[in-house]
Amino acid sequence: MQRSKAPLFFLGLSAVIALSALALLFFRPGVKTKQTAAASAMESPIEAPQVTKAPDASAALPEDTPLTLDTLAPALGASDPAQLMAEIGKAFEMGDISKVARLIGKDAFSPESLAQLQALAGKPIRFQALNGIREVGELELNQRSRWILTLDGSGGESRQILLDLRKVADKWSVDHFSFLPRPSDPVPQVHTPDSLEVADAFLQAVLKQNFELANTLVDPKTVSDAKIAGLCILFEEGGYQLRKSKPLRAMFNRQDTTGYLANLETTNASQAAQFAITLQQAPAPSAKWIVTEINLDQLLADYASRIAGGDIYYTPLVKNPAGGDTLALYFEFNEDVMNPRTRRQLEIVTLILKSDPGKKITLSGHADSLGTKDYNNHLSARRADVVRDFLIKAGVSTTQIVTLAKGDSQPRRPNLTEAGADNPEGRRANRRTEIYLDF
C-alpha cells in the first residue's frame, strides 16, 4: 500500500513561507540593520562624529602666520623636564624659532620676550660647549625647576635664557621664559635676581675660584672670607662639581628666607657630597637676596673620608680661637716643607691677596708637643715663614703679611690620649700654619 505524499508537500511549503517572512523582516525597504547603518554613517560626512585633535607642537605653521601670543597655543608639556629641554635645545640648534616658541607655549611669554626670541630667527645659533643647557635647581621640590640656556653670540658675547618649568598633572611645561640682561644692552633692563639665581651665581663663582664675585653675594657679618676661600679650596682639591641633575634643591622657602641643598659630585661622578646654603632677602627698596649661612659639615666629612684619610680634623677650614674661620695648611713631623697639596691651597690664597693690595693676612705657625718648647717655637716660626716666602715669591706684597710663632701652645687636638700615651692622630692636626684672612 502506498503512503500519501501530502504531508511532505505541506511541510516543505511551511518552510518556504517561514524563510520568506524572515527575509522581509531583515531586508524591508527603508529599514537598516545595525551593520548597514554603521556603514552608511561612515560614508556620510554629515553624520560622521567630530573628533577634536590635540595641537601638535612640532607641526609647522603656515609661513605667512605671524608668531604672536594670539597665534601660539598653550604648551603640550612632557613627562620629564630634561626631555622637554632637550627638545627645545634641538629646535634652537636647527634654527627653528617657530618650533621653539610652540614647544614653550604662549603662557610662558611676555610680548617683550617673544619679540627677543623672534629676533634670533635667521641667525646661527650654537650652545656653549660647556653647560650650554644646564639645570640650575628646584624652586619647589619636585614641582618647579629652573634651567639656563647659554647661546654663543656671533660677536663673542653670549646670551643667557632663563626657563622656569612647572609640573601640572604629571606634565612638565615652561612656566616662564626670559632673556637675562647683558652688559651691552642699550637700555639697562630691570632685573632683580631671586634667591635661586643668587645661590647659583655664588656656586658658579666658587667653582671658577672667583673669590671677589662670591664675596659680593654674601653677608660679611655671617659668612667669613676664610669660609669662602675654604670652600674654593674644597671644590678645587676635592675635585667637586655641581651635580647635573637637581644641583640645588629647595629645603624651605619662606617669605624672606630660603634654604637650598647644594648637591655635588666628583668630576668622574663616582662620589657625591652636599652642603646647605641659606639666603635672606633685604627689606625694600633693595629686596636683594644674599647668602647668610653656609653649613659645610657634610662636605667636610666627605672631604675628610676621601682626601684626609678619614680624619675630620685634617681639613683646610678650622675655627679660630679668636672667633671666625681660618685656613689651615699641614706639615709632616719635624718638617717645614710644603707639599703639593699645600702649594695648591696657597695659589688660591695668592689670587685673593693679589686682587686687592689692601687685604692683609696673619700667618701663625704651630707645632705638636714632641720636643722642647724652644725647639717647637723655632719650628712653628719656620712653618709660618715658608708660607710667607711662597706668597711673596708669587707676587704678594710683604706689607700684606704678618707672621706669628705659636709653638705648641694652641693644639687643635690632644697630643696625648686620656691615659697619657702618645696620640699621633692628634699631633698630625697640630703641625700646621693657620692663615687668618684679616679683611
Residue ranges per domain, the chain?
Answer: 81-179, 195-306, 317-438
- Cα–Cα distances in angstroms (integers) from residue 300 to residues 123, 158, 167, 210, 235, in the given order: 47, 35, 35, 21, 11
Task: Report the alpha-carbon distance of residue 213 to residue 356 in Å, rounded.
Answer: 13
User: What's 81-179's CATH class?
Assistant: alpha beta
151 or 313: whose pLDDT is higher?
A: 151
Task: Report the alpha-carbon distance of residue 218 to residue 152 in Å, rounded.
Answer: 30
Q: Which CATH architecture has domain 195-306?
A: Roll (3.10)
Residue 176: its pLDDT value, please? 97
Residue 306: its pLDDT value, please? 86
Residue 157: its pLDDT value, please? 66
The contacts of residue 81 (CB under 8 Å, 6+ apart) are 135, 145, 147, 165, 167, 172
Residue 66: its pLDDT value, please? 66
The contacts of residue 254 (CB under 8 Å, 6+ apart) are none
DSSP SS3 for 68:
coil
CB atoms closer than 10 angstroms to residue 98? 19
* pLDDT, tens only, 96-107: 999 999 999 999
For 333-342, the CB contacts below 8 A with 24+ separation are 333/368, 333/370, 333/427, 333/431, 334/371, 334/379, 335/431, 336/379, 336/382, 336/383, 336/385, 336/386, 337/386, 338/386, 338/387, 338/390, 341/237
Nearest to 127 by CA among 98, 103, 92: 92
Fold match, 81-179 / 317-438? no
Sign of torsion over alpha carbons 221, 225, 226, 232: positive
Residue 49: its pLDDT value, please? 39
* pLDDT, tens only, 51-80: 334 345 445 445 445 678 888 999 989 999
Q: Is the pLDDT of residue 2 over 80?
A: no
pLDDT tier for residue 343 given thresholds of 50, 70 and 90: confident
Residue 308: its pLDDT value, please? 79
User: What's 317-438's CATH class?
Assistant: alpha beta
% residues pLDDT > 90 (the chain) = 56
